[in-house]
């Protein structure tokens, strides 16, 4: 075997120097002490050599910079963790013997379980501190039921629903007494809630304690009963009575009686009142019983079983809480006669104008299988009145049957006029065969607006009603009255339209030009004046229109105070429009110029300057349509004192 030689000491030094990456120029021999460099080199190789047995270059050493931000964050985390531990330890040490749970804070409400609607109720709220620590900033908020009416409290609250308690030491307690009325519906549950807010002495947070009390409105404090006829005729008036009583031991305020009736029932109202179905009472004293009545009419087409429901209850602001009710049933029968009233061909309510002709027709028919005898027909008017005069012009009445007229002053502002026809005026009313029908026709006018100049009234109304009385049915005396439909009329505002052609104005200054009278082949200019007056109601959407004849020209010279005036060359129409005319403006007007050059065919004739002048508008109060018209204007210049009659073409 070949012999393996050991390396000399110099060889070992070279290996070590090679590992360290340094060189030795003249290595010295040293005395071996302890471990050899070779052993140390072998150990270093085991530690630092890679998988291939190579050693890293350790001739250079690099220093890595430290992350200061990361170190700071770690330091802060350690600091706050330490602080939290110390705080908790302090709390455990200093709070020893003063533990707070919240379970020993007392809040209770005492109240009755059941009451009658409207009764007085008392709530007692008890509060206390049985904790080991004091409670600061104590406050109680009370949330009342929706239908609770507060009357008093002990102690008086600092604000409407808040009581300031301040600090509550250990063992402190108190109570709040609240009185009021519960005014909800029967069988409703009314809930009161109390909230105690406080801050424990060893906490810096707010705490709440909540308590509730529920009370049922079990019964009513009011009773009522409705009585009336068991049978009425369609169109006939019926009267009902309501008895009501406060059965409680306390006065009741703000009480309402509400009647719900079928849609074909109309409540009777006094003059100046709107139809209503409810009546309010500011107070009904404890134990008081009273009675009220109301009347109304079922429509002419009503028939069969009908129900009216009356309720008595308490008013809570906009709400109504019923406490009792009674339903009343009755039969509505069609009368022996079918009766219908129409005016100007219509049975509906509407507006009319001053001076209008009202053409009425009363149509009646025997519906029975038997003969009807001793029939009377009535026409009743009720209208706005002053000085015992009606809005209707009775001198204009045209009645071929010559009915009997009777006038009655119902009140200072309402007068009634009645026309009655019997068998004396109309013989066929003595006996009306089964199925037989007939009609009575007449005309009456509304008085002109000039008749009401000193009345001081802006709203004029007329109520029209027809009725029939039957004396015998089938030869037997059976009196029966049948009321027909009602027609209500409102009178539109007193709008007046004026239109005239002028050559001179009111001061006798010429506003026209050219020949007067007009001459063939020569041009004459005329001025047309339109005026509108009004005083009772505001009018809207006003329009005044006139058409120019083919031989008359528009000169485009206008003078307008309000609105807008236009001329349409294609239609030859002049149109003046105005959005509205309030009652504060009594009169407005426009004027414009037209010209005419007569031809030989016009000689010896008047020339038409404008066709009919027509006004259309709407009454804002009655919503009725208003129409006025002035006849064609001619060269005769009616109304011009200086030029009137000088209109014949020469």
SS3 state at 450: helix
Pairing mode, if any, of strands 114-116 and 207-219?
parallel
* Residues 323 and 258 both lie in one domain: yes
Number of domains present in the structure of the chain? 5
459/347 same-domain check: yes
Final residue of a structural domain among 189, 219, 249: 219
- Is residue 70, in this structure, part of any structural domain at all? no
Domain boundary among the residues 448, 469, 491 is at: 491
**What is the per-residue pLDDT across 280-298, written as a single tens digit (0 to 9) for each?**
999 999 889 999 999 998 8
| Three-state secondary structure readout of 630-645 | ECCEECCCCCCCCCCC
The reply to whether 613 and 549 lie within a common domain is: yes
pLDDT digits (tens, 9 = 90+) for 28-41: 334 444 455 565 56
65 vs 7, 70, 74, 534, CA distance in Å?
Answer: 43, 12, 17, 101
User: According to the model, what pLDDT value does residue 458 have?
Assistant: 87
Number of DSSP helices (H) and strands (E) in the chain, helices first: 3, 43
> What DSSP designation does 469 have?
E
Nearest residue to 290 (alpha-carbon basis) of 224, 221, 219, 220: 224
> Do 138 and 264 share a domain, yes or no?
no
CATH number at residue 282: 2.60.40.10
Q: Which residues of the chain have pLDDT under 70?
A: 1-98, 271-272
The pLDDT value recorded for residue 622 is 93
pLDDT of the residue at 584: 93
Q: State the pairing for strand pair 633-634/564-568.
A: unpaired
Contact at 8 Å (CB) between 444 and 361? no
What pLDDT score does 205 carry?
84
Q: Is 113 in the same domain as 238?
A: no
478 in the same domain as 500:
no
Instruction: Quote the pLDDT of residue 319.
Output: 84
Taking the C-alpha atoms of residue 44 and residue 64, their distance in angstroms, rounded to an integer, is 23
Has residue 413 been placed in a domain?
yes
Q: Is 25 part of a structural domain of the chain?
A: yes
Can you give the three-state secondary structure of 303-335, one letter per residue?
CEEEEEEEEEEEEECCEEEEEEEEEEEEEEECC
Note whether 110 and 206 are same-domain residues.
yes
Whether the CB-CB separation of 244 and 312 falls below 8 Å is answered with yes
pLDDT at res. 579: 95
71 inside domain: no
Total Cβ atoms within 10 A of residue 437: 13
In a domain, 227, yes or no: yes
Is residue 644 in a domain?
Answer: no
Domain that holds residue 15: 9-48
Same domain, 189 and 300: no
Q: What integer pLDDT is reported at residue 73 of this predicted model?
A: 55
Classify 499 as helix, strand or coil.
strand
Do 383 and 314 lie in a common domain?
no
Residue 571 CB coordination number (10 Å) = 11
Q: pLDDT for 142-152, tens place per residue?
A: 999 987 889 89
SS (H, E, C) 280-308: EEEEECCCCEEEEEEEEEECCCCCEEEEE
One domain, residues 271 and 212: no
Q: Within 10 A of 309 (CB to CB), how many other CB atoms are there?
A: 13
Q: 626: burial class by Cβ within 10 Å (0-12, 13-18, 19+)?
A: buried
Count of beta carbons in the 10 Å neighbourhood of residue 134: 19
What's the CATH code of the domain at 378?
Answer: 2.60.40.1530
Distance, in Å, from the CA atom of 557 to the CA atom of 528, rounded to the nearest integer, reads: 11
* 173-182/120-129 β-pairing: antiparallel
Last residue of a domain, one of 491, 506, 530: 491
Q: Are residue 465 and residue 520 in the same domain, yes or no?
A: no
Is this prediction's pTM over 0.75? no
Shared-domain flag, residues 519 and 482: no
For residue 75, the SS3 value is helix
197 preceded by cis ω (within 30°)? Answer: no
The angle that helices 9-20 and 37-48 make with each other, rounded to 10 degrees, is 30
């Amino acid at each position: 075997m070949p012999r393996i030689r050991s390396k000399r000491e110099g060889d070992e030094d070279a290996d070590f120097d090679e590992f360290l990456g340094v060189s030795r120029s003249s290595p010295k021999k040293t005395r071996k002490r302890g471990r050899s460099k070779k052993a140390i080199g072998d150990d270093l190789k085991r530690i630092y050599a890679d998988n291939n047995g190579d050693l890293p270059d350790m001739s250079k050493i690099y220093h890595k910079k430290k992350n200061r931000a990361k170190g700071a964050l770690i330091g802060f985390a350690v600091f706050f963790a330490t602080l939290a531990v110390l705080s908790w330890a302090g709390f455990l040490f200093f709070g020893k013997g003063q533990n707070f749970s919240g379970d020993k804070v007392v809040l209770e409400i005492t109240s009755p379980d059941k009451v009658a609607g409207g009764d007085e109720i008392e709530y007692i709220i008890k509060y206390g501190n049985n904790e080991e620590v004091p409670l600061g900033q104590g406050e109680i908020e009370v949330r009342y039921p929706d239908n609770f009416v507060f009357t008093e409290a002990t102690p008086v609250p600092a604000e409407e629903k808040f009581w300031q308690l301040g600090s509550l030491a250990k063992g402190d307690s108190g109570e709040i007494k609240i009185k009021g009325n519960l005014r909800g519906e029967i069988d409703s549950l009314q809930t009161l809630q109390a909230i105690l807010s406080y801050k424990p002495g060893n906490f810096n947070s707010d705490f709440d304690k909540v308590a509730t009390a529920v009370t049922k409105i079990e019964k009513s404090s009011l009773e009522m009963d409705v009585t009336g006829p068991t049978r009425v005729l369609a169109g006939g008036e019926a009267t009902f009575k309501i008895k009501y009583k406060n059965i409680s031991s306390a006065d009741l305020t703000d009480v309402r009686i509400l009647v719900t009736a079928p849609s074909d029932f109309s409540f009777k109202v006094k003059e100046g009142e709107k139809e209503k179905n409810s009546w309010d009472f500011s107070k009904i004293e404890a134990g008081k019983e009273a009675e009220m009545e109301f009347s109304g009419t079922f429509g002419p087409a009503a028939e069969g079983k009908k129900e009216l429901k009356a309720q008595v209850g308490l008013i809570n602001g906009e709400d109504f809480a019923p406490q009792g009710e009674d339903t009343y049933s009755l039969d509505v029968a069609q009368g022996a006669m079918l009766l219908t009233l129409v005016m100007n061909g219509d049975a509906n309510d509407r507006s009319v104008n001053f001076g209008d002709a009202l053409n009425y027709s009363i149509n009646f028919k025997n519906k029975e299988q038997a003969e009807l005898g001793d029939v009377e027909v009535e026409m009743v008017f009720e209208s706005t009145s002053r000085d015992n005069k009606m809005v209707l012009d009775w001198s204009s009445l045209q009645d071929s049957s010559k009915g009997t007229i009777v006038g009655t002053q119902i009140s200072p502002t309402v007068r009634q006029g009645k026309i009655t026809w019997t068998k004396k005026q109309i013989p066929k009313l003595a006996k009306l065969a089964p199925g037989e029908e007939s009609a009575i026709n007449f005309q009456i006018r509304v008085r002109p607006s000039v008749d009401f100049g000193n009345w001081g009234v802006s709203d004029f109304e007329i109520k029209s009603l027809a009725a029939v009385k039957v004396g015998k049915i089938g030869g037997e005396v059976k009196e029966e009255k049948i009321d027909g439909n009602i027609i209500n009329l409102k009178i539109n505002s007193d709008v007046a339209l004026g239109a005239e052609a002028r050559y001179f104005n009111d001061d006798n200054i010429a506003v026209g030009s050219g020949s007067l009278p007009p001459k063939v082949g020569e041009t004459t200019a005329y001025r047309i004046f339109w005026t509108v007056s009004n005083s009772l109601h505001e009018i809207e959407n006003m329009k005044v229109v006139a058409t120019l004849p083919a031989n008359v020209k528009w000169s485009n010279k206008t003078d307008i105070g309000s609105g807008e005036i236009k001329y349409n060359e294609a239609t030859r129409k002049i149109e003046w429009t105005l959005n509205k005319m309030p009652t504060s403006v009594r009169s407005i007007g426009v004027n414009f110029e037209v010209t005419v050059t007569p031809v030989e065919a016009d000689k010896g004739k008047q020339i038409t300057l404008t066709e009919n002048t027509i006004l259309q508008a709407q009454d804002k109060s009655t919503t009725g349509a208003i129409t006025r018209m002035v006849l064609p204007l001619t060269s005769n210049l009616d109304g011009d004192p200086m030029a009137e009659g000088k209109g014949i073409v020469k």
